[in-house]
Structure 1
Amino acid sequence: MKPVQPCQGGKMARKLQKMTALMAVLLLSLFLGACSKSSDSTGESTTTYNRVHSSKTITWGMRADTRLFSMMDVKTGKAKGFEVDLARAITKQILGPSGKMKIEYISEKSRIMDLKIGNVDAVMATMTDTADREKIINFSDTYFMAGETLIVPKKSKLKSIKAFNNSKYSIAAVKGSTADADVHKYAPKAKVIFYDDYGSAYNAFKAGKTNAMVSDNAVLAGLIADDSDKFTMLDTTFTVEPYGIGIKKGETKFTKEVNQALAILRKNGTYQRLMKKWFAGVPGFNIKESSKTTVSDK
């Protein structure tokens, strides 16, 4: 039998010391990571709620290209529209008169990621509350009930979504929307061409690069407001699009607070005043229908 070398015991001890130290570091990092996530007594995340109340500011993710909802005013350099005014009212309702509203301009493609990484506290950007999106973010109660439809040239003979069921017809849409699946449900042969934003899609349609443009009725109404002599919106919608305010997944406390603010604004008349301010007199637009909170509302 070979004698045991003294150095082997020393090496083993040093290995054990290194392994013990490594395990301690890993456990400490896990502990600190868990502690960094704020939560209340129910275990729900309160990170957004705490940030909003400590800073007295709500950072909203909004569009800069959606007329009637959130459109950049080239003269002032600031966005204006229904969503801008509603976000301001919600901010004041939650934080009081001294509460501040900050806007970060986002795109259709980036809005959910901006929420996830904390660039914004909430997104109000004509975003439809869908089952798939509810898996990855929270939604507030519905603040606007829209429906998808098409705009076409006034001289067009295509008067329904089903009329586009031919591969020779193309429809402009915005990236990040649900337009592709929605159109192909009724016109599977139609070609949907995606553009980065509403302006690009509308310009392509106006230039004759597509036969129509698809989006929500209220968005399209804003786009053709100055071109109503050239383009028209179809009379019927083929989807129901309930708009909700997007909030980071798990931020239940802040979501409840936003819902409470919305309910108060509906009750005290602020919501209806803003609806009339921005949509009264818009051709093809029905304020009563768009004010619904559920599809079954009377």
Structure 2
Amino acid sequence: MNRKGRLRGWGGVGGMALACAAAASLLVPLSRHEAGADAARTGGPGVGRGVQAKADTCTDPEASLPASDAGGPSIEKIKKAGKLVAGVDQNSFRWGYRNPANGKLEGFDIELVRAIAKDILGDPDAVVYRAIPTSRRIPALQNDQVDVVVRTMTINCKRIGQVAFSSAYFQAGQQVLAPKESAITGYNATLKGRKVCVAAGSTAFDALEKESYGAVYKDLTVPSQLDCLVRLQLGQADAVVTDSALAASQAAQDPAVQLKGDPFTKEYYGVATKLENTDLVRRINHVLVDYRSGGDNSPWMKAYRDWLAADLPGITGPPEPKYRS
């Protein structure tokens, strides 16, 4: 089958090429609402500042700081700026993507950004959105390029020494995506000798580093996970390893690909902040308490029904928060 003929979803080849070009940029301001100097592009790798927990002693990385609606230095900085600067994705269908029909950023993660902005600033639209590829999420926080990252970011022991996380707002896992006709059956020996695309700085890359099953992947590492779908569609990769939630959204864009096998990890997404910004972490956890509340009528469930239920059916609610003393 000529996979070039399979390109569909939003925008076909032209739309995908545009999306990949945007994802390749290190840091791109997506929306400037009187952002001033805050909207300037910056780059360069970040340097970790401080240690939240050592990976060799980490047993419960999802345990975050208790929720609080109190202020603090990082919250006051956001209020003074009048905008929340959020690092997001603009290419992950249903999570954070620019809708080609109206040009607006939409998705499950975007709804959460809006809820945080409304709580801190009283206005859900008081946001400067910045598109960041997977590999730039942590440096963007460390270099003060964004206040928060809300971008399907997994909480784990490696990362909690580099950035601070809110309590978990979504549960996912790593999974394999491949063409329907492929003999690949999941994260197993059927990957041997196959070209597998993966995003740099992702937990999927870490998983392949531990056990690749003979897959060829290091030369197929890309800045953003959507680039992997394009490579798969063009026949440049045989499979993709990514979060199950993102894999489902990619399968929704192209009915010629499907999830293969079950998720082989259990992971939780959190809102990330700079390591020192504990007041902001507590405030985001306060937002999440309200966001989860109300059962089937909660803002979380509404966002789930609006954006994810069609591709990820059967989820009955958000993960329970964990806190540390």
Q: How high is the TM-score relative to the length of structure 2?
A: 0.71
Distance 1:286 1:209 in 2: 33
In 2, the alpha carbon distance for the partners of 1:202 and 1:226 equals 9
Q: Does 1:227 align with 2:254?
A: yes
Q: Report the equivalent of 2:308.
A: 279
Alignment of 1:133-172 (within 5 A): 133-166=159-192, 168-172=193-197
On the 8 A contact 1:64/1:79 being kept in 2, the answer is yes
Q: CA deviation at 1:64?
A: 1.0
SS in structure 2 of the partner of residue 141 of structure 1: coil
Instruction: Indicate the structure (1 or 2) with the bigger Cα radius of gyration.
Output: 1
Contact 1:138 1:246 in 2 (8 A): yes
What is the aligned partner in structure 2 of residue 215 from structure 1? 242
* 2:316 maps to which of 282, 288, 291: 288
Does residue 244 of the first structure (1) align with residue 270 of the second (2)? yes
1:197 corresponds to which residue? 224
Question: In the alignment, what sits opposite 1:120?
Answer: 146
Partner Cα distance (2:200, 2:73) in 1:
30
Please say if residues 165 and 186 of structure 1, whose CA atoms lie closer than 8 Å, have aligned partners that are also in contact. no
* Contact 1:83 1:124 (C-alpha < 8 Å) held by counterparts: yes
**Relative contact order, CA 8 A, sep 6+: which one is greater?**
2
Structure 1 residue 157, shift from structure 2 partner:
2.1
How many angstroms apart in 2 are the aligned matches of 1:59 and 1:237? 32
User: What does residue 94 of structure 1 align with?
Assistant: 120
CA distance in 1, matches of 2:291, 2:91: 25
Where 2:164 maps in the other structure, the secondary structure is strand
- Aligned-residue sequence identity (percent) comes to 25
User: What are the equivalent positions in structure 2 for 1:47-62 lying under 5 Å apart?
Assistant: 47-62=73-88
Q: 1:109 aligns with which of 130, 135, 143?
A: 135
Q: Give the letter aligned to residue 238 of structure 2.
A: N
Distance change >3 Å, CA 73–CA 98, structure 1 → 2: closer
Aligned residues: 247
CA–CA separation in structure 2 for the residues paired with 1:204 and 1:231: 12
- Give, in whole Å, the separation in 1 of the partners of 2:316 and 2:208: 26
Structure 1 residue runs of 4 or more that deviate by more than 4 Å after TM superposition: none
The answer to whether the 8 A contact 2:199-2:205 is kept is no
TM-score of the superposed pair, with normalisation by structure 1: 0.77
Amino acid at match of 2:149: V
- Cα 1:264–1:156 shift into 2, 3 Å: same
Verify the 8 A CA contact 2:183 2:190 in the aligned structure 1: no
Could you tell me how far apart the structure 1 residues matched to 2:120 and 2:314 are?
29
- Whether contact under 8 Å (2:184, 2:260) holds in the other structure is no
Distance 1:247 1:81 in 2: 20
Structure 1 stretch 136-145 or stretch 54-63: which is displaced more? 54-63
**Offset, 1:76:** 3.3
Give the RMSD, CA atoms, in angstroms: 2.2
What is the SS of the residue equivalent to 1:254? helix
After superposition, the Cα gap between the structure-2 partners of 1:154 and 1:165, relative to the gap in structure 1 and judged at 3 Å, is closer
Secondary structure of the residue that 1:233 maps to in structure 2?
strand
Q: 1:194 to 1:250 in 2, by over 3 A?
A: same
